[in-house]
Amino acid sequence: MSGSDFLGPLLELFSWIGLTLGAACLVVALIIRAVSGRWVETTAVVVHESGSAAARWLADDGTIHSRPLDPAEAAQLTASDDVMVFVSVVRPERMRLHRRGGGEQTLMFLALLLGGVGIVASVASFVLQLIPE
């Protein structure tokens, strides 16, 4: 039993699993992005009152929105005059600190990682077939 007899099926397995799961993660991430809608950058003000922090921003229609900040978000943002945040176009009362949500970022990372493993395994499997025994 040579090394290619063991390595060939293993690389084949990695290529199938990597490419299939990578494509699935990419599809789910794109669905989440489509459902989430567009997020635009706007300016918010961080206010500290009664021991908690909140962000306040002005929507395009002139209404003022406010959302309490989690302790992790409050630690990221300082009490300055202007802070750049992202607001949903469809629902301007929704605000987050990053353009992409955490789940979407995680799925895109997994799609790239698994797709990369699948591509590398496919290329290695092809190269292994070219080597004479």
Total domain count for the chain? 1
- pTM for the model stands at 0.74
72: tokens are: 């992790």
Is the distance from CB of 3 to CB of 128 less than 8 angstroms? Answer: no
Distance CA 117, CA 120 (A): 5
- The whole-number mean pLDDT for each consecutive block of 10 residues of the chain, a chain of 133 residues, reads 75 94 96 88 82 82 83 72 81 82 91 96 90 76
Distance CA 127, CA 121 (A): 10
74 dihedral zone (left: phi>0; alpha: psi -120 to 50; beta): alpha
**Can you give the pLDDT at residue 120?**
95
Domain that holds residue 56: 3-130
Inter-CA distances, 35 with 24, 101, 110, Å = 17, 12, 19
Is the distance from CB of 39 to CB of 99 less than 8 angstroms? Answer: yes
Distance CA 40, CA 84 (A): 10
